[in-house]
Amino acid sequence: MNRYGIVLNKKIGDKVEKGEVLARVHANSKEKGEEAQKEILETYQFSQKLERKEETILEILS
């Protein structure tokens, strides 16, 4: 079971400068924090091409 949370500071289509924080990890142990960091770094992809942002809200239910 994962025992960490991730707050993403940068998402698809966001411009990123060298040294900027991509995400913050909240973990209950150093090992889980390192595990989360590894997952984050494996997930992000960098490109010079600007990617189109997808709409976050798909539908509003009332």
| pLDDT, position 20 | 92
DSSP letter (8 states) at residue 24? E
One-letter identity of residue 1: M
Answer yes or no: is 56 within a domain. Answer: no
| Banded model confidence at residue 1, pLDDT cuts 50, 70, 90 | low
Answer yes or no: is 20 within a domain. Answer: yes
Using a cut of 0.75, tell me whether the model's pTM lies above it.
Answer: no
- For 13-55, what is each residue's pLDDT tens digit? 888 888 999 889 999 989 888 988 888 888 888 888 877 767 6
Owning domain of residue 23:
4-43
Six-digit token string for 33? 């924090």
Answer yes or no: is 60 within a domain. Answer: no
The number of domains in the chain is 1
Answer yes or no: is 21 within a domain. Answer: yes
